């Protein structure tokens, strides 16, 4: 079956409607919204704390390292769920593969402990 260009017309109409709605909402809210400016109102405000100093303060690399390691080991746990659901169907072959996977995960975990990646000063 060959498709022609008329088959894409509903998709094009929906896309134009979505883009038009977003653009129209932004333009109308900008025209109808209040326009009261003052020094206090235009000042940066973050969670009730006065803004002091430069916002470009360098973070410790440890913070990012712990975040990346958390994501890494959290994603590894996601791989355990399908294996646990299909445990019986996978048999001994699936068990061997999961043991190898877990051993590699443990090697990585002991490596980051040895490198003291999770220790804070």
Question: At residue 25, does pLDDT exceed 90?
Answer: yes
Convert the pLDDT of each residue in 57-79 to its tens digit: 777 778 888 888 888 888 888 88
pLDDT average, residue stretch 100-116 = 91
**In the structure, what pLDDT confidence band is assigned to residue 51 with cuts at 50, 70 and 90?**
low
Pure H helices in the chain: 9-32, 61-78, 80-85, 87-114
Residues near 69 by beta carbon (within 8 Å), at least 6 away in sequence? 112, 117, 118
**In the structure, what pLDDT confidence band is assigned to residue 117 with cuts at 50, 70 and 90?**
confident
pLDDT for residue 103 = 94
Residue 58 has which token pair? 């360098």
The predicted model scores a pTM of 0.48
DSSP state letters, 39-70: TTTTS--BTTB---S-S-PPPPHHHHHHHHHH
pLDDT for residue 16 = 97
The fraction of the chain above a pLDDT of 90, given in percent, is 36
């Amino acid at each position: 079956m060959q498709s022609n260009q008329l088959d894409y017309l509903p998709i094009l109409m929906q896309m134009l409607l979505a883009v038009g709605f977003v653009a129209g909402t932004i333009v109308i809210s900008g025209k109808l919204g209040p326009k009261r400016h003052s020094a206090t109102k235009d000042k940066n405000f973050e969670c009730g704390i006065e803004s002091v100093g430069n916002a470009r303060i360098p973070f410790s690399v440890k913070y990012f390292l712990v975040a990346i390691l958390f994501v890494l080991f959290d994603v590894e746990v996601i791989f355990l769920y399908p294996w646990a659901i299909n445990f019986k169907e996978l048999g001994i072959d699936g068990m061997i593969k999961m043991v190898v996977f877990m051993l590699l995960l443990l090697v990585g975990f002991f490596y980051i402990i040895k490198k003291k990646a999770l220790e804070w000063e």
